[in-house]
Amino acid sequence: MVAASAALLQKVALRSVKTWDGAAAANAAAEALRLRAEELIEQDAFAYLDFVATVRSGGDAGPARDRTIEIPLEIARSASEVVALAGPLAARGNPNLRADAVIAGVLASAAAESAAILVEVNLGAVTRDARLTEASRLARIASGRARRLAAPARPGGRGRALGRSSGTRRQ
């Protein structure tokens, strides 16, 4: 979900270069986040397979278990960064793609929450671990940011509504 969210932000950034000076930098940041997320997907799969193989062989599963915690924590960090990047793109990017930036933020928030759950599950009975605290904090921050992004604009207030009066969006 993080890679897909970052790719969606890349689309918004690329379609915003004519209207926002920060679009090129936003695109570069979104691309870096997407590439990192793609790496983490692969690392997460290998970490889990390594953990299972180590447990089955009767070896010391501690280091392998730690990787099944550290990688989802890194996913939560990346997801949180994607949500943070979605804010400026929703506010300053191509207004026709504001909903895409908001959706990217909402999806990345869900990824941060999902990663926090994996950290908690993989820690098992350990409840006092800084990694769990950090993952939970990142998920809460991402969720709050995503809710603010998705909130409709208040009449007479700042912000833009998600929809367009014509019911269509142009790219």
| pLDDT tens track for 14-42 | 999 999 999 999 999 999 999 999 999 99
pLDDT the model gives residue 162 = 52
pLDDT the model gives residue 136 = 94
Q: How many helices (DSSP H) and strands (DSSP E) are in the chain?
A: 5, 0
pLDDT the model gives residue 156 = 46
Position 155 pLDDT exceeds 80: no
pLDDT the model gives residue 166 = 39
Least confident of 46-60, 115-129, 155-169: 155-169
Give the pTM: 0.86
* Whole-number average pLDDT of the chain: 90
For residues 40 and 2, the answer to whether their CB atoms sit within 8 Å is yes
Query: 11: closest CA among 112, 113, 89, 123?
Result: 89
153, burial (CB in 10 Å: exposed 0-12, middle 13-18, buried 19+):
exposed
Position 95 pLDDT exceeds 50: yes
From CA 11, how far away is CA 9, in angstroms rounded?
5
pLDDT the model gives residue 126 = 76
Collapsed DSSP state (helix, strand, coil) of residue 46: helix
